[in-house]
Every structure is written in structure tokens, then in C-alpha cells.
């Protein structure tokens, strides 16, 4: 995916729509999948994929072909998804409807009841978006921390710190609900 001919990247950088279309079709799935991991809502992920590529097109003149397209696109997509998380109303967040859409876990601890899982998901949805996005990618989706750091435009150490803070806040919130992880 990172082996686009440099001519395509150069043409895109110069504003060639055909080159942009080629890059779009090459990267659409990856960008959509990345956004879906963050927002966990298929319909929103499609909209945000379009928004991401729209922003990518607008920024074509600032693109550096030497740096490759995938990482740059992922960073813009992460920003778009972050903006969505930040502006999403509570009903768009981890509501019962979205929770029902999530696949049933493969390995479930018998002691972890559906009620605890629901409360955990809701508590996670209450975390600040900045922490939630880092924890979603690094903990739930188990993405490599260096990829998460690159997508968020921060260092690996900062990703670790955000995950730590997210888990600590989550634990406090769960304890208030009477759940001891």
C-alpha cells in the first residue's frame, strides 16, 4: 500500500484528479477501517471517510510525496474522527443501540455480566475524546503504539500516558458505579 508510483503521488500533489481517484481507490478501505475502529459506527465511518478524502484533496498542495500517502491520510482521518467524537451528541456515542451492534465477545468471563459490560461501555463513552481515541486504538483494537502515535501526531510515550489516564479514569468511574475491575 505504500508503494504507489512516485509519479501518482507527484501528480496528486499537483492537483491531478485522476491521480487522486487512483489513491482514493487504493486507500479507501484502509481509511474506512481505521475510522470505523475509532467511531465504531459504520454509517458515520462512511461519512467521515468521504470527509477525510475531501480534506485530503483540499490539502494536496501541502502533501509531501517523499513521506508516503498512507500515514498522511491516516493522520487526517484520525483528526476527522476525533472532531466527530468531540462534537457527537451523547445519543451518537455508546448508546444501547450501538452496543447492540457490536459483535458478541468471543471469550467472555462468566463473572462479567451483560450489565457490567454495558456500564463499562457507557463509562468508556464518558471519557474525554482525546483519551478515548488513544485507548480505543491501543487497548481495544490493539494497534501498534507507534501507529497510534503517528496517527495522533504525538509520541509513543504520550500514547502510553493517555492510555494510562484513560484506564485510571475508567476505573474511578466504574468504582463509583460499584464495579471493581
Q: Which is nearer to another protein, 141 or 147 (CB)?
A: 141
- The Cα–Cα gap between 102 and 54 comes to 28
How many helices (H) and strands (E) in the chain? 9, 0
What is the Cα–Cα distance from 19 to 166, expressed in whole angstroms? 40
Round to whole Å and give the CA distance between 181 and 120.
Answer: 10
For the chain, what is the radius of gyration of the CA atoms? 18
Residue 49 lies near another protein (rule: CB under 8 A): yes
Sites for another protein among residues 71-90 (CB under 8 A): none
DSSP 61: G
CA-CA distances (angstroms) from residue 142 to 20, 114, 134? 30, 23, 10
Q: Between 89 and 106, whose beta carbon lies closer to another protein?
A: 106
Tell me the C-alpha distance between 122 and 2, whole Å: 37
**Number of residues binding to another protein, judged by CB under 8 A:** 46
Query: Which of positions 99-128 make contact with another protein (CB under 8 A)?
Result: 102-109, 112, 116-118, 120-121, 124
95 binds another protein (CB under 8 A): no
State the minimum distance, in angstroms, from the CB of residue 57 to another protein.
7
Interacting residue with another protein among 19, 73, 135, 149 (CB under 8 A): 135
Residues forming contacts to another protein in the complex (CB under 8 A) are 21, 24-25, 28-29, 32-33, 36-37, 40, 42, 45-46, 49-50, 53-54, 57, 94, 102-109, 112, 116-118, 120-121, 124, 135-136, 139-142, 164, 167-168, 170-171, 181
Amino acid at each position: 500500500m505504500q508503494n504507489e508510483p512516485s509519479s501518482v503521488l507527484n501528480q496528486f500533489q499537483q492537483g491531478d484528479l485522476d491521480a487522486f481517484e487512483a489513491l482514493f481507490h487504493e486507500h479507501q478501505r484502509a481509511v474506512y477501517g481505521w475510522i470505523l475502529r475509532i467511531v465504531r459506527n459504520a454509517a458515520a465511518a462512511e461519512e467521515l471517510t468521504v470527509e477525510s478524502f475531501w480534506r485530503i484533496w483540499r490539502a494536496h498542495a501541502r502533501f509531501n510525496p517523499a513521506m508516503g500517502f498512507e500515514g498522511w491520510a491516516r493522520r487526517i482521518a484520525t483528526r476527522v474522527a476525533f472532531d466527530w467524537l468531540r462534537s457527537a451528541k451523547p445519543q451518537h456515542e455508546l448508546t444501547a443501540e450501538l452496543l447492540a451492534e457490536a459483535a458478541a465477545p468471543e471469550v467472555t468471563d462468566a463473572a462479567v455480566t451483560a450489565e457490567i459490560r454495558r456500564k463499562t461501555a457507557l463509562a468508556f463513552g464518558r471519557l474525554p475524546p482525546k483519551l478515548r481515541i488513544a485507548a480505543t486504538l491501543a487497548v481495544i483494537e490493539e494497534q501498534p503504539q507507534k501507529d497510534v502515535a503517528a496517527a495522533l501526531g504525538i509520541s509513543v510515550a504520550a500514547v502510553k500516558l493517555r492510555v494510562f489516564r484513560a484506564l485510571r479514569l475508567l476505573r474511578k468511574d466504574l468504582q463509583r458505579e460499584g464495579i471493581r475491575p
